[in-house]
A and B are shown apart, each in its own frame.
Chain A
Amino acid sequence: MSRLLPFFAFLALVALFGFGIWWNTQHDQREVPSPLIGRAAPEFRLPVLDDPSRTVAKADLLGKPYLLNVFGSWCFACGEEHPVLMAQGKALGVKLVGYNYKDEPAAAKGWLAEHGNPYDLVIADVEGRTAIDFGVYGAPETFLVDGKGVIRYKRIGPLTPDVIERELKPALAAIAKEAP
């Protein structure tokens, strides 16, 4: 028995490494978990893309849940996500707010004109300073903010039909359940 002990120790190590490999295929290793989930969204006031003289603040969006979708015309993965938003955005039953991140307003408008505009409202953060308060580090990213202004869910990377089904819809259902 004690002769086999090193062999079992070896098997335990193999199992550990095997678990490590499996674990790393199960999630995006570059994903930085947001510390903001379950907390109040940061205060912001940003100009509307189509009409920069108008601004939208966090307080203006309180009352109903909304999706804040960070995108840019420069962002390749946003192009992959875009058809999904076009197809499913309306059916989600929440306000879809586009967050144009570090983009030329003209380029963003052109991009939306070319591919279609799935958003109810688009705000522009050309400098990307407010995005830092949201912990944005790339695009696309999507935040689900509830009617009280609390961030309930964050998706890093493109929304896909699968992600919408498995993650976003349950999060939306949870918000709908607690709303009076």
Chain B
Amino acid sequence: MMRRVMLLLVLLMATTVAAQAIDPLPFKDHAQEVRFQHLTAQLRCLVCQNENLNDSNAELARDLRHEVFDLMQQGKNDEEIKAWLVARYSKFVLYDPPLDTGTALLWFGPLLVLVLGGVALVVQVRRRARTAATEPANAVTESNDSGENW
């Protein structure tokens, strides 16, 4: 009984593997296929823009997969293939935006906000410390409704 269940499970796994191979390409070896899957997962499908080239069923995505495959057979490395696509479809094809002047705000914007927040916090804390130090006597009686305690 147990063996039959196991056999059934293995067969089920085989069907999922077959379902993924919607677009069989003649890879030289498994390593190349892995590299291909990894590379196309980093590239955006231009038609359905929230999908990557690896997942998309769009016709253009299929064409671009074939182009990527052909470039791989020509011995191009990943960077060269990305550059090839960027030259035609702009940096938009890359899911991971490269660091340059156009994307600097995207990369450093959050850090900038964090620094601004930190500066504001330090200024505020220092100011309070100063007022607390200069008016220690009043502070005790007025602190309850000074409005600064929130």
Contacting pair B63 A137 (CB below 8 A):
no
Interface membership of chain B positions 134-150, coded 1 if the CB is closer than 8 angstroms to chain A and 0 otherwise = 00000000000001100
Given A32-B90, A137-B89, answer yes or no on A129-B46 (Cβ-Cβ < 8 Å).
no
B67 at interface by CB-CB < 8 Å:
yes
CB distance from A36 to the nearest CB of B (A): 7
CB neighbours (8 Å) of B46 from chain A are 32, 137-138
CB neighbours (8 Å) of B86 from chain A are 35
User: Residue among B60, B88, B90 with the most chain A CB within 10 A?
Assistant: B88
Contacting pair B88 A135 (CB below 8 A):
yes
A33 at interface by CB-CB < 8 Å:
yes
CB neighbours (8 Å) of B92 from chain A are 32-33
Interface membership of chain B positions 53-76, coded 1 if the CB is closer than 8 angstroms to chain A and 0 otherwise = 000000110011001000000000
CB distance from B147 to the nearest CB of A (A): 6
CB distance from B83 to the nearest CB of A (A): 11
Given A128-B63, A129-B63, A132-B67, answer yes or no on A138-B90 (Cβ-Cβ < 8 Å).
no
A3 at interface by CB-CB < 8 Å:
yes
**Interchain CA distance A158-B60 in the complex, whole Å:** 19
Chain B residue at minimal CB-CB distance from A133: B88
Contacting pair B90 A137 (CB below 8 A):
no
A152 at interface by CB-CB < 8 Å:
no
CB neighbors of B among A1-55 (8 A): 2-3, 30, 32-36
**Interchain CA distance A2-B146 in the complex, whole Å:** 12
Contacting pair B90 A102 (CB below 8 A):
no
Contacting pair B147 A33 (CB below 8 A):
no
Q: How many B residues touch A, CB cutoff 8 Å? A: 16
Contacting pair A132 B64 (CB below 8 A):
yes
CB distance from B118 to the nearest CB of A (A): 15
CB distance from B43 to the nearest CB of A (A): 13
CB distance from B72 to the nearest CB of A (A): 16
A153 at interface by CB-CB < 8 Å:
no
Chain A residue at minimal CB-CB distance from B89: A135
Given A3-B147, A137-B47, answer yes or no on A33-B90 (Cβ-Cβ < 8 Å).
yes
A111 at interface by CB-CB < 8 Å:
no
CB distance from A99 to the nearest CB of B (A): 15
CB neighbours (8 Å) of B148 from chain A are 2
CB distance from B150 to the nearest CB of A (A): 9
CB neighbours (8 Å) of A30 from chain B are 49
Given A3-B147, A132-B63, answer yes or no on A35-B49 (Cβ-Cβ < 8 Å).
no
Contacting pair A138 B88 (CB below 8 A):
no
Contacting pair A102 B59 (CB below 8 A):
yes
Q: B residues within 8 Å of A by Cβ?
A: 46-47, 49, 59-60, 63-64, 67, 86-90, 92, 147-148
Given contacts A102-B59, A135-B90, 10 further A-B contacts (CB under 8 A): A32-B92, A33-B92, A35-B87, A129-B63, A132-B88, A133-B88, A134-B88, A135-B88, A138-B47, A138-B60
**14 residue pairs from A and B, CB less than 8 Å apart:** A32-B89, A32-B90, A33-B90, A34-B90, A35-B89, A102-B59, A127-B63, A129-B67, A135-B88, A135-B89, A135-B90, A137-B89, A138-B46, A138-B47
